Amino acid sequence: MVQAKQWVMKAAPIPGKPFNFNFKDDKATFKLIEKELSEKDLSDGDLLVQTCYLSNDPAQKFWIATVDKNYSAGVSPGEIIPARGIGKVIASKNAGYQVGDYISTYTGWTTHVVITKTKLDEGFSSKISKDKVGELWWYLSVFGGTALTAYFIFYKYAELQEREEDYGKVFLISGAAGAVGNVCIQLAVHAFKASKVIAIAGGAEKVKYVESFGKNVVGVDYKDPNFKENLMKAAGGVNTVDYFIDNVGGEILDLGVNLLKQKAMLLACGSISGYNDSSKLVFKNYVSVITKRLTIKGLLLTDNLSEFPQGMAKLQELVQKGSLDVATSATLKDATGDKFQEVPLIWDGLFKGTNKGKLITKVCDCC
């Protein structure tokens, strides 16, 4: 038997508005509970898992309080807050998993959780090996969902291949210091030999971080008062960019579209600028889609489930070649022991710029 700590929804938030992190407030979004769990709670096919690491993703904002049922059903009061994570199996009634196995799955914000056979059968869980990586958290960074997202952006949605005609392009990447953005920079530089990567990030430290990936990476600080002018200078004027990978939306989306060439491509991956302020989820420069005859592709990682093995094999190849930098791929935050109460605040750091690369929460020292 284990005493599990689990963050659940306390009061349903308003979609598109900030969450209430005052945990003493009756209207707080989250509540920390404790619950006894044991092998007796398992039905056939279930697992009891101890959480090792949690993935922090901006998309959780919509998993929790959905603005579009096409994307997520949302969370109801009393339900565990959803999150991907790495866990260790401590009890099993599933022939595919033994005690001591590691699993990548939807753990939620928990120290321990029952993963049902139904959830396992949905296909978003997989057994992972500690022996194949330097650290287990690599499965959330260079071998995680955000790295796979970057892979599919280039190799599937942008329809690029590692061939002569796809080399030498100009890429614009917003949210470039984030989990998806930093991998996109590295793919553009190393796999597709970009002539220039314009990387938008927040603050001097993050500009230095994105520029560390290659001499042809030009970092632009969106917090700088002269951001618009600096962005234009970095691009070399309008109609200069072949591919715009946008993780931010809002004003940066409008500015980026100005820089695209005729018949260029906009790859819409996220719109984090509006996740806490839905008024920013506006595309004012839509006319350029028509006048420039742009191609826009929106993408969700989950649409590509059957191709995950192919993507993972490519990411492993790139890491082995040194084309993906593991050491700088993530920012780890400690939520072990009593610090587990900080899990929601660590996640909220995504919207305050606390991370470079993937933001990962360490939940236990057992892994």
Q: Which of 319, 314, 265 is nearest to 289 (CA)?
A: 265
Which domains are seen in the chain, by residue range? 2-141+329-362 (3.90.180.10), 145-302 (3.40.50.720)
For 304-355, the pLDDT digits (tens) are 999 999 999 999 999 999 999 999 999 999 999 999 999 999 999 999 999 9
- For residue 301, pLDDT over 90 is answered with yes
SS3 53: strand
Percent of the chain with pLDDT over 70: 100
Q: Give the ranges where the chain is alpha helix by DSSP (H).
A: 60-64, 117-121, 145-152, 179-186, 204-211, 227-235, 250-259, 287-291, 308-321, 343-348
169 pLDDT tier (thresholds 50, 70, 90): very high
331/356 Cα distance (integer angstroms): 6
**The predicted structure's pLDDT at residue 124:** 85
pTM listed for this prediction? 0.94
Q: Which two tokens stand for residue 132?
A: 């194949």
- For residue 365, pLDDT over 90 is answered with no
Chain-wide mean pLDDT for the chain? Answer: 95
Q: Long-range contact list for 128-137, CB < 8 A, 24+ apart? A: 128/86, 128/102, 128/103, 128/104, 129/102, 130/102, 130/367, 134/326, 136/52, 136/53, 136/86, 136/102, 136/367, 137/53, 137/86, 137/330, 137/332, 137/360, 137/362
84/53 Cα distance (integer angstroms): 9
- For residue 367, pLDDT over 80 is answered with no
**The predicted structure's pLDDT at residue 123:** 82
State the pairing for strand pair 84-92/47-56. Answer: antiparallel
17/61 Cα distance (integer angstroms): 10
For 37-82, the pLDDT digits (tens) are 999 999 999 999 999 999 999 999 989 988 777 778 789 999 999 9
Q: What is the mean pLDDT of residues 141-149?
A: 96
Q: How far is CA 16 from the centre of its chain?
A: 18
Read out DSSP for 196-237?
Answer: EEEEEESSHHHHHHHHTT-TTEEEEETTSTTHHHHHHHHHTS
296/328 Cα distance (integer angstroms): 30
Q: What is the mean pLDDT of residues 293-307?
A: 95
